[in-house]
Every structure is written in structure tokens, then in C-alpha cells.
Structure 1
Amino acid sequence: MVRKRGDVLLLAVLALLADGPLHGYEVRKRLDLRLGAFRALSYGTLYPALRALQAGGCITETTEERIPGTVSPKRARVVYEITRHGKDRLGQMLEESGPDAWEDDAFGVHFALFTRVAPRTRLRILEGRRARLLERLEQMNRSIDRTQAQLDSYALEAQRHGLETVRSEVDWLERLISAEHHPEKPEENP
């Protein structure tokens, strides 16, 4: 189960390595590019995750050889590659669609990997996320109603902004769920 940010990082790294071998710098760069949730990812976080995946038999590492006769001040790079076990584990992690996949950190990573996920799993994650946000909306509305008289106008506007942000995401999820229920059919050639 993908339960915490570290587990979400393992999922994201395995998905990247499923596309082909990469060295650590390239893993970090692609995580930053594809999965904005990891923009603050440091090497101090990435390399322990890579070691954990290696210890679990999900990835292997090799050292790139330098070209003989060249002088390079750079040290050899370590290249990481997913194993068969890692591909199996990735498949399991991608199909997890329970409450942990609906939470803020995990949802963003799962969503970024939706092209690798079965339609029924995508739908369950989207519907779960929507349900979670509808609960959040209800709590926020109660909070605003309860504290409205105690807040200054800026604090009240900050709460209203948070409410509108969640409503906007619910609307977006509604469109995605509708699209999952009614996928576009490819046009036939005349």
C-alpha cells in the first residue's frame, strides 16, 4: 500500500525506471519535470529511496564505464534499472485504489501515472478523491459558519478562497469522472 510520501516516492521512481535505466540525477530531474509534487525533492531523500528499492530487489545498479583513453574529471555514474520483481511491485502499487491513493500527496502521483492504470482503478481513485474533497468542503463550510463572526475580513476571505479551491477541484474531478464513464470513441475512416 502507498501510505506516506516515502512510499509515493518509491512508486514514482519505479514508474520512471520502468521506462528505462536512469542515473540518479536523471531520476531527480524527471521527477521534478513530471511530478511537480516532488519539486523540493533532495538527493538526501532520493538516494535512500533508491537504496530501499535496491534492498527490496526492485532495482539493480550498475556503474557506467568511462570510455578508455578519455580524461574526465567526473566520476563514473551509477545507473539504476528496474527488475522483474520491481515491475511486478509497480503493477501492484499502480492498481492500489484505496483511501491512501486519494490523499493529497499520493493522488498527484497516481494521477500523473494514470496512463499506466486500468480504467476501473482510475475511476475508483477519482471517485474516492471527489468523496474526500466533498467531506472537506462540508467541514470547511461548517468551520466558516461557526467562526465567521470571530474572523476579520482577510481571515474570512482566506477561508473562502480555500473553499473555492476545493470546489474547483471537485468540478475538475466531475469532468474527469464523466470522461472515464464516457470515453471518446475513435473516429472511423470513411
Structure 2
Amino acid sequence: MSRRSGILEFAVLGLLRESPMHGYELRKRLNTSLGVFRAFSYGSLYPCLKTLVQRGWLIEEPSSPPEADLEREARSAALAGRRAKIVYRLTADGKEHLEELLCQTGPDAWEDEHFRVRFAFFGQTSRDVRMRVLEGRRSRLEERLAKMRASLARTRERLDDYTLELQRHGLESVEREVRWLNELIESERTGRGRGATSPDPSDDTA
């Protein structure tokens, strides 16, 4: 299983723990709540859902519209040649598997895309796991900062003004995220953890 498909499976299981959804709702939540999936399409989502069903982590159920709408919806679906919407629900085995994933704190959880998804589900994660993931992420970024500063020092004289400015911008973004992580770690240590509600300053969309 590739790292990217693993992140998608984790996100789908996490969202379905909140409530059952059909494919369109899932795709919308992936796009709006978890920005790393903005480029994902139905072509990526539905094979993932099929795999999770085959593994016994999800079940498929027909949606249940209000009784008054049943006949109208059935007629419309028949005319359009469409099947009824399928709702995906987390199974007991799926919940157990998600719990295992939520407890993982290894290096994969510190990488850019995986960390963002893990952070989005911190509300479902225990405090000690949150601490290990946050500290691991900070360690990874501190290593990245050291390499970026060393590279900038070596190449500064050979860079034009625009390339140099871009390098500085990247450096400042990482420094800002390290400060943000320090604040989160301190909040967790003092029992004031903010979970997944705090904005991520590394998401520089300004």
C-alpha cells in the first residue's frame, strides 16, 4: 500500500467514525476539511472505499430518504438509469483498525501530508499520542531547518534576488510552524491542549 493511499484510507475511516456518509459527502469533506485531498477525484476515492469494504472495515447500505420521497426517488433513478445512493458505515472491525492507526506515532506521522491528516483527527486521539506526534513533527522540521539554513549559507552569493527571496520565504514558513508546534506542545503539557481547532500557520494561503 502506497503512503498516499494509506493516508486516504485513514482519512476515510476517521470521517466515517463521525457519521455514515455516501461517496459524494465523503469527497466533499475530504476536499473542504482536509485540504491535502483537494486534487483527489472519484477515481481515487471509490477504489479506496471498495478496498475498505472488502477488508471488512466498511459496509455499504442503501440510503433511506423520507417515506414520501421513496417513490419519487425510485422513479427518478429509474428514468436516469442511476442506482440508489450507497451509504458507507464503519464496522466494529473498522473502528478497531482506526484505533490502531490513531495510536501510530512513527516517522510517517511526521511527514507533511500525513501530519496534516493526523492533526485533523487529534480530537479522536489520546494526549500521549498527540504529544509524540507533535514532538516528532517538531524534530523533523528542526532537521529541515538546519539543512535549509546550511544550504542558504552556501548558495546565497550565487542566487538572484527572487530565488533568494523564495528561499527565505520557505525558511520563514518552517520557522513559523516550529513556533506553532512549540505552543501546541506546551499547551498539551500544561493540560490546555487545543486539539484540532487551532489554525495551522504553515498553510500560507495569503
Asked whether the two chains share a fold, i.e. TM above 0.5, the reply is yes
What is the number of residues matched between the two proteins?
Answer: 184
Rounded Cα–Cα distance in structure 2 between residues aligned with 1:116 and 1:3: 24
- Report the Cα distance in structure 2 between the residues aligned to 1:43 and 1:79, rounded to whole angstroms: 15
Pairing 1:69–2:71 present = yes
Whole-Å Cα distance in 1 between the matches of residues 180 and 173 of structure 2? 11
| Identity level (%) | 48
The equivalent residue for 2:163 is 155
Question: What is the CA-CA distance between 1:65 and the residue it aligns to?
Answer: 5.9
Name the structure 2 match of 1:188: none
Is this contact kept in 2: 1:11–1:93, CA < 8 A? yes
Contact 1:102 1:129 in 2 (8 A): yes
Q: Alpha carbon RMSD of aligned pairs, Å?
A: 1.7
Cα distance in 1 between the residues matched to 2:32 and 2:169: 28
Residue identity matched to 2:71: G
Q: CA deviation at 1:41?
A: 1.6
Q: Deviations over 1:118-175 (max 9, x none)?
A: 0000000000000000000000011101111111111111111100000000000000
Q: CA deviation at 1:63?
A: 2.5
Range with bigger deviation, 146-155 or 59-68? 59-68
**Equivalent residue of 2:71, what SS?**
coil
Letter of the 1:69 partner, please give it.
E
Quick one: structure 1 residues 68 and 39, their matched pair in 2 at CA, closer, same or farther if it must change by over 3 Å? closer
Aligned counterpart, 1:55: 54
How far apart in 1 are the matches of 2:2 and 2:142?
A: 21
Contact residue 3 and residue 100 of structure 1 kept, 8 A:
no
Compare relative contact order (CA 8 Å, sep 6+) and give the higher one, 1 or 2: 1
Unaligned 5+ residue runs, structure 1? 186-190
- Once residues 55 and 62 of structure 1 are traced to their aligned partners in structure 2, the CA distance between those partners, rounded to angstroms, is 14
Structure 1 counterpart SS, 2:40: coil
Q: Secondary structure at the match of 1:72?
A: helix
Residue in 2 that maps onto 1:133: 141
CA distance in 2, matches of 1:21, 1:6: 21
In the TM superposition, residue 13 of structure 1 has moved relative to its aligned partner by 0.3
Cα distance in 2 for partners of 1:184, 1:9 equals: 30
What's the TM-score, normalizing by structure 1?
Answer: 0.91
Tell me, which stretches of 5 or more residues in structure 2 are unaligned?
194-206
TM-score, normalization: structure 2? 0.85
Displacement of 1:43 in angstroms is 0.5
For residues 30-45 of structure 1, what are the structure 2 equivalents within 5 Å?
Answer: 30-45=29-44
Distance in 2 between the 1:169 and 1:91 partners?
27
Which residue of structure 1 lines up, in the alignment, with residue 123 of structure 2?
115
Residue 143 of structure 1 aligns with an amino acid whose one-letter code is S
Deviation at 1:33, TM superposition (A): 2.0
CA distance in 1, matches of 2:95, 2:171: 40
